[in-house]
Amino acid sequence: MMIEALLVVTVASAVAVMFADEEIAGRLAFGLSLLPLAGSLLMLLGFDGSGNALLGGNIAYETQVDWISLGDITVGYHVGVDGISIALLVLTTVLMSLAILSAWTPIDERQSQFYGLMLFMEASLIGVFTALDFLAWFVAWEFVLVPMYFLIAIWGGPRRKYAAIKFFVYTNVASLVMFIGFIALVFGLGDSITSLGLPEIAQALHAGQLGSLAGIAPETLKAVAFVAMFAGFAVKVPLVPFHTWLPDAHVEAPTPVSVILAGVLLKMGTYAMLRFNFTMLPDQAVAFAIPIAIFAVISVIYGAMLALAQQDLKRIVAYSSISSMGYVLLGLVAYNLYGLGGATFQMVAHGLISGLMFMSVGVIYNVAHTRMVGDLSGIADRMPLTATIFTAAAFGYMGLPLMAGFAGELYIFLGGMQSTVLPGAQLFTAVAMFGIVIVAGYLLLAMQRVLFGPFDADTDHEIVPAAVTDRVSIVVLLLLVILLGTAPDLIYGIIQDAVQPILTIGGGF
Amino acid sequence: MVGAFDFAAAVPLLPFASFVVAILAGYFTPRLLPKGGAIPGIIATGGSLLLSGWLLVTVSGTATFNEEIYTWTTGMAGETFDLSFGILIDPLSSYMLVIVALISFLVHVFSLGYMNDEGETGLPRYYAGLGLFSFSMLAFVMASNILMAFMFFELVGLCSWLLIGFWFREPGPPSAAKKAFLVTRFGDYFFLIGVVAIFATFGTGLFAPRGDELGFPQLAADVLAGEAVPVVSNFLGTIGLGAETWFAIMGLLVLGGVIGKSAQFPLHTWLPDAMEGPTPVSALIHAATMVAAGVYLIMRMFGFYAQLPRVLALIALVGGFTALFAASIALVKREIKQVLAYSTISQYGYMMLALGAGGYVAATFHLMTHAIFKALLFLGAGSVIIAMHHNENMWDMGGLKDKMPVTYYTFLSGSLALAGIFPFAGFWSKDEVLYEALIHGLNDPIILLAYAMGLVAVLFTGFYTFRMVILTFHGEARTETAEDPHGVRWNVKFPLVVLGILAATVGFVNMAPVKELTGMDITYLHHWFENGIHEVTLGEYHHLLEEVAGYHAADLAPFLPAALSLGLALLGAGLAWILYSGPEPTAHTDKLGSIKTLLYNNYYQDEYQVWLAEGVTMPIARVADKFDQGIIDGVVNAISSIALFSGSRIRRLQTGRVTNYAAMLTLGLVVIVLVVALVGGWF
């Protein structure tokens, strides 16, 4: 019942905040967001699942209710978590509370609506990471877009309309492509499944029950479905060349929304790839290994090169997210324990670090009202704590050991180096790793110019220390990043346990 | 029974505690922090020094310690390996711990004079950085596996960034800090690939055997000896390379990190810029922490390199070349710290030369003597810089000898050691380095070439060292500041005296040439490294060098080579004396003309690297950005405009007039009929 409680509480909070007074909306939203946070932490503490939720593992906090029958197919409500989804669930609730706290300073109009939409988004994200029935999952997946669209279109920057529409249309078209791919599989399975439950579909696919559909042979059908789903999710991740909505969305979105966008929304793409492409169709994942690895390496290097060319701090972080998400894909395609486990760990680690990075940029923006590298210089003098956290966040992004990003990247590199599935994996890994040099280049350059050197600020606003709430949220997030970097076993153990069945049941690659 | 090993973890953790204290107290209650954090730092590093000494004594009783202390990542049994932190205390690490702890302790004391007495602001940040630096380096030294070593190696890099950029309000230091981190990161990129490759190949990163578990150098030895090691052969099968080739590639990859951190050609360019940091930090970086980390890493995994003759030869060549190359630049520098910076690069070149030539003891010996005399010279230079009100140009000094005798005599002791003049410490160690290079070089032309370069560098070293001493301390004062220098206190003099005495005497622990003359065997260091865990001792290394790498020493007495290098050092020093002594020395290096310009500009090494970063990488990034916004995003927008455009056209059909709809209906019907007719073959 825990997951239902989370969903109900979050939706109820969202409604309550929607109708609350402007003055108390922010505080109310933060207070209420602590409930799902506490709930998800309790779930993590009491987690007793094992194995992979899709592959006959022991699912924790599972609820299954049948709803309606459509012919032979029963559509129902089915939720539950395994080691992969609980990690992302906790990431969501943690980041949402901190994002709401960090919104107190910048958001000063239509506050109750803003915070209400944030909580609606949280509820849909919880749905995405816990749903085990395709229809429920797809509803949550699509519903995430709605609050996101309004959050960018109402509270965004000057080009907010353009960015919001681009984001909405792009990801929606992608969802359509993905949907078609998945439904083709469902029809191909025909009578061998009785519901749209993801575990049932995954297991039926592994049992080789996919028939031909409209004259298309099962093998071809699999390949087509794999490509369609991959392309659909690739927009969300986003992989080069499907990434151009991301910088626009990030630049226009208010900072707390960027935090959720980079920290959680992008992970939906890689989470879905892991669940659908790599768990349901492992043979296709192996067959397409080389093109996927090429996408991964290009995303890492090209994304980092783009970040190097930017002048807007937020754009720098946005492009570097593309680069970091490329590593996740590399881990997936390596298709071994450190690869898949590392990819999942990196989703959490990058969620925290990119959230921290965006928040730090936001804190500077709240004070200076500019984010352009050329406008600011030497502000460490006036905002010592913020500069310290910004520096720590940047080093976290560069993969400094004992911070979460290093653990994730190291696992992925270990997986990549050991991969027996991907031909030339060692070379792909070595090339992708060059990203760690470029990331150091653009972040150190940005820090040198913005934080250090003689003080100068080309802005009408006085540079003073940031608001207390802003500082608290970045300090807490930094401590989490360090905690996960020094003790990755806190979540890596359960993640590893959940990804391991993918390797054995998936045909023993 | 409670012994020293139970406290081993406290050696790095004490400075870590001082870092935490300085950070927290510095932020919340700066007034309660004694001396801006210096006192906690001194207590902590003093404690580390005492504990390291205790460890050294324990190890001298042939005890060793190699245990896992923390499982960082638990792998899945039977499928993947654990990643863990462990402590390895053996003759090498206990020896290095004492060096690092000693230098850090003295640097903390000296900082009282250099930073506190000079009224610097941001002291908690400074001492927090020093604490973290000492912590990282000490933890790196005692790391029992290569992953832990890499992690602390990176943290050492972070600390150097923090401290080089300490004066962040000026434009220079942040830029130098960025360069230091970036250049070493470039080396670490290769190192990390190496680390990952070692784990992937061997399934372990241990340096030395622990219980039944073999370390990776031992597994490599087994594989090369033809024994079956399933993990390794599986991996080699996957990548399709032979063991020797692949091991050599991994050796080279790790070497990338070493070349970056130990500032060897061509990744040395960060080090002279790093002089932007406070001088005590330079002492710490050059003598005992960051730069030393590189060569220490080779020593730590020498059992691996000892099996790779081609890699060893490359190490020797890089070392010999760097020694000569950097020494030639030091000949013409004007700032005292610049001379010292290039001399550091050059001296680490000697250590690389020794390691590449198979002279493990020579390299460790030179690492120790260099740590002492280079820390001394930097601290001495710091004392001079205080006296000169932060003017570092040697041409503005002169005649400081009588005004600051303690600094002068200790600095002289360090200079004699650096130049390798008998009987100072540097003489013994540099002599052994060159001797090892020579006896192995007689059988291998590459090492002989490296030796020759190292030998010429001795002449240069003697010259630049005494040029520096004479210009700084001798002759007449050339500026008003030099006539009336600022005084220094006990906290500056105490570290100088300690190091000055050591620089004159530590060489006596290992006097190889003495045996030939007197018959006395005073090579304590050789015996020191013969004990410990068998697989990581001198005996095993010699065995591997001879059996696997095919290294054979020529039979040659040490006396003549020693006399040769001493003669060259004296010649260089004498030349400097002739050219620069006297009340009004002239800038003789100007007579070198364009050669001087070339040397003074460091062979334009910085220029080409800056060009690679700013002239090549940045334009590529900007082109990529244009491509991204113009082409990729352009296509996306074009597709959406086609959709919008066709949508707006189709919308015009919805006019709301019944006649139009009727026309459409009719038209549609005609089209359908035509299509059906065509397909059905009615015509």
- B252 vs B356: CA distance, rounded Å: 13
| Domain membership flag for residue A117 | yes
Is the backbone of residue A238 left (phi > 0), alpha (psi -120 to 50) or beta? beta
Best residue in B69, B70, B73 to probe A by mutation, most A CBs within 10 Å? B73
For residue B80, list chain A residues with Cβ-Cβ distance below 8 A.
337-338
The answer to whether the Cβ–Cβ distance between A400 and B154 falls below 8 Å is yes
- Report the C-alpha dihedral over residues A256, A257, A259, A265, rounded to 10 degrees: 160
Six-digit token string for B426 = 């540097």
- A305 vs A299: CA distance, rounded Å: 10
**Nearest CA of chain A to the CA of B117: how many Å?**
22
Helix (H, G, I), strand (E, B) or coil at A205: helix
For residue B620, list chain A residues with Cβ-Cβ distance below 8 A.
305
The answer to whether the Cβ–Cβ distance between A402 and B151 falls below 8 Å is yes
Six-digit token string for B680 = 């059905």
DSSP state of B422: T
Comparing CB atoms, the residue among A380, A395, A500 nearest residue B168 is A380
Question: What pairs with residue A66 in β-bridges?
Answer: A76
Nearest to B89 by CA among B113, B62, B66, B123: B66
What is the tens place of the pLDDT at every residue in B169-213? 888 899 999 999 999 999 999 999 999 999 999 989 999 998 888
DSSP H or E run through B73: strand B65-73
For residue B629, list chain A residues with Cβ-Cβ distance below 8 A.
244
- B151 vs B129: CA distance, rounded Å: 17
Asked if pLDDT for residue A419 goes beyond 50, the answer is: yes
- Please name the residues between 11 and 70 in chain A that touch chain B, using a CB distance below 8 Å: none
Amino acid in position B428: W
Terminus-to-terminus CA distance in chain B, angstroms? 107
Comparing CB atoms, the residue among B189, B621, B628 nearest residue A436 is B189
- With contact defined as beta carbons under 8 Å apart, do A342 and A433 qualify? no
- Please name the residues between 122 and 151 in chain B that touch chain A, using a CB distance below 8 Å: 147, 150-151
Six-digit token string for A168 = 């909405």
| Domain membership flag for residue A360 | yes
What is the tens place of the pLDDT at every residue in A150-182? 999 999 888 898 899 889 888 888 999 999 999
| Domain membership flag for residue A256 | yes
What is the tens place of the pLDDT at every residue in B371-427? 999 999 999 998 888 888 888 888 888 778 888 888 899 999 999 999 988 889 989
For residue B19, list chain A residues with Cβ-Cβ distance below 8 A.
none
Helix (H, G, I), strand (E, B) or coil at B88: strand
- B127 vs B682: CA distance, rounded Å: 96
- Please name the residues between 13 and 72 in chain B that touch chain A, using a CB distance below 8 Å: 27, 71-72
B44: which residues sit within 8 A by CB, 6+ positions away? B14, B15, B17, B18, B131, B134
pLDDT at A508: 42
pLDDT at B377: 92
Best residue in B123, B148, B168, B642 to probe A by mutation, most A CBs within 10 Å? B168
- With contact defined as beta carbons under 8 Å apart, do A324 and A346 qualify? yes
Please report the number of interchain residue pairs, chain A to chain B, with beta-carbon separation below 8 angstroms. 139
DSSP H or E run through A341: helix A337-368
**Nearest CA of chain A to the CA of B628: how many Å?**
8
Helix (H, G, I), strand (E, B) or coil at A402: coil
What is the tens place of the pLDDT at every residue in B511-530? 877 776 777 777 888 888 88
- With contact defined as beta carbons under 8 Å apart, do A498 and A84 qualify? yes
Domain tally, chain A: 1
For residue B79, list chain A residues with Cβ-Cβ distance below 8 A.
337, 500
| Domain membership flag for residue A398 | yes
List the domain range (segments joined by +) for residue A75.
2-504
pLDDT at B1: 59
Per-residue burial over B417-442, b if 16 or more Cβ lie within 10 Å, else e, is bbbbbbebbbbbbbbbbbbbbbbbbb
Asked if pLDDT for residue A506 goes beyond 60, the answer is: no
Nearest to B12 by CA among B126, B110, B117, B101: B101
- A348 vs A411: CA distance, rounded Å: 13
What is the tens place of the pLDDT at every residue in A384-415? 888 999 999 999 999 999 999 999 999 999 99
Chain B, nearest residue to A496 by Cα? B76
Query: What is the average pLDDT value for chain B, to the nearest integer?
Result: 87
pLDDT at A509: 41
The answer to whether the Cβ–Cβ distance between B235 and A418 falls below 8 Å is yes
pLDDT at B653: 65
What are the φ/ψ torsions at residue B510 (nearest 5 degrees)? -145, 85
The answer to whether the Cβ–Cβ distance between A454 and B169 falls below 8 Å is yes
Chain B, nearest residue to A492 by Cα? B73
C-alpha B306: how far from its chain's center?
21
- B377 vs B502: CA distance, rounded Å: 12
Asked if pLDDT for residue B468 goes beyond 70, the answer is: yes
Select the more confidently predicted residue: A3 or B391: A3
DSSP H or E run through B89: strand B83-89
What is the tens place of the pLDDT at every residue in A371-387? 888 888 888 888 888 89
Comparing CB atoms, the residue among A170, A306, A453 nearest residue B628 is A306
**Nearest CA of chain A to the CA of B1: how many Å?**
30
State whether residue B154 sits within 8 Å of chain A by CB: yes
Chain A, nearest residue to B125 by Cα? A388
- A401 vs A125: CA distance, rounded Å: 30
Asked if pLDDT for residue A463 goes beyond 70, the answer is: yes
Q: Is residue A261 packed enough to be buried (19+ CB in 10 Å), middle (13-18) or exposed (0-12)?
A: buried
State whether residue A172 sits within 8 Å of chain B by CB: no
What is the tens place of the pLDDT at every residue in A199-238? 999 999 988 888 777 778 888 899 999 999 999 999 998 9
Q: Once rounded to an integer, what is the mean pLDDT over residues A39-58? A: 91
CA torsion sign for B220, B224, B227, B231 is positive
State whether residue A245 sits within 8 Å of chain B by CB: yes
**What's the CA angle centered on B129, arms B127 and B132, to 5 degrees?**
110
- A259 vs A362: CA distance, rounded Å: 9
Six-digit token string for B287 = 């003598």
- Please name the residues between 176 and 215 in chain A that touch chain B, using a CB distance below 8 Å: none
For residue B75, list chain A residues with Cβ-Cβ distance below 8 A.
337-338, 496
Comparing CB atoms, the residue among B158, B165, B199 nearest residue A414 is B199
**What's the CA angle centered on A28, arms A25 and A33, to 5 degrees?**
120
What is the tens place of the pLDDT at every residue in A182-202? 999 988 888 888 888 899 999
pLDDT at B682: 65
Query: What is the average pLDDT value for chain A, to the nearest integer?
Result: 91
Cis peptide before B230 (omega within 30 of 0): no
Q: Once rounded to an integer, what is the mean pLDDT over residues B664-668? A: 80
Six-digit token string for B295 = 């060569």
Look-up of token digits 């990542």? B73
| Domain membership flag for residue A210 | yes
The answer to whether the Cβ–Cβ distance between B171 and A407 falls below 8 Å is no
For residue B158, list chain A residues with Cβ-Cβ distance below 8 A.
395, 400
Of the listed ranges A129-133, A380-384, B452-456, B580-584, the one predicted with least confidence: B580-584
Terminus-to-terminus CA distance in chain A, angstroms? 37
DSSP state of A371: -
HEC sequence for B617-635: HHHHHHHHHHHHHHHHHHH
The answer to whether the Cβ–Cβ distance between B168 and A500 falls below 8 Å is no
Asked if pLDDT for residue A507 goes beyond 50, the answer is: no
Interface confidence (ipTM) of the complex: 0.93
pLDDT at B552: 84
- Please name the residues between 556 and 595 in chain B that touch chain A, using a CB distance below 8 Å: none
Of the listed ranges A76-90, A272-286, A443-457, B655-669, the one predicted with least confidence: B655-669
C-alpha B445: how far from its chain's center?
28
Q: Once rounded to an integer, what is the mean pLDDT over residues B590-596? A: 77
Q: What share of chain B is helix, strand, coil (3-state, %, to 5)?
A: 75, 5, 20
* Beta-carbon count within 10 A of B200 CB: 25
- Whole-angstrom CA distances from A4 to A61, A123, A170, B44, B587 are 9, 10, 31, 53, 83
- Report the C-alpha dihedral over residues B372, B373, B377, B382, rounded to 10 degrees: 10
- Report the C-alpha dihedral over residues B655, B661, B667, B672, rounded to 10 degrees: 110
- Whole-angstrom CA distances from B572 to B136, B327, B394, B456 are 38, 12, 19, 10
What is the tens place of the pLDDT at every residue in B298-343? 999 999 999 999 999 999 999 999 999 999 999 888 888 899 999 9
pLDDT band at B680 (very low <50, low <70, confident <90, very high): low
For residue A381, list chain B residues with Cβ-Cβ distance below 8 A.
169
Question: In sequence order, what E strands does B309-446 have?
Answer: none
pLDDT at A464: 82
A178: which residues sit within 8 A by CB, 6+ positions away? A228, A229, A231, A232, A233, A272
- B259 vs B321: CA distance, rounded Å: 13
Is the backbone of residue B80 left (phi > 0), alpha (psi -120 to 50) or beta? beta
State whether residue B665 sits within 8 Å of chain A by CB: no
- A226 vs A242: CA distance, rounded Å: 17
Best residue in A171, A308, A431 to probe B by mutation, most B CBs within 10 Å? A308
- Whole-angstrom CA distances from A109 to A115, A156, A200, A365, B651 are 11, 12, 47, 17, 37
Q: What is the DSSP string of A208-269?
A: T----BTTB-HHHHHHHHHHHHHHHHHHHTTPTTS-THHHHHHHHS-HHHHHHIIIIIHHHH
- A450 vs A375: CA distance, rounded Å: 8
Comparing CB atoms, the residue among B79, B147, B193 nearest residue A430 is B193
**What's the CA angle centered on B216, arms B213 and B221, to 5 degrees?**
105
pLDDT band at A66 (very low <50, low <70, confident <90, very high): confident
The answer to whether the Cβ–Cβ distance between A500 and B73 falls below 8 Å is no
Share of chain B above pLDDT 70, in %: 98
The answer to whether the Cβ–Cβ distance between A445 and B178 falls below 8 Å is yes
pLDDT band at B117 (very low <50, low <70, confident <90, very high): confident
What are the φ/ψ torsions at residue B523 (nearest 5 degrees)? -120, 65
For residue A243, list chain B residues with Cβ-Cβ distance below 8 A.
632
- B88 vs B9: CA distance, rounded Å: 10
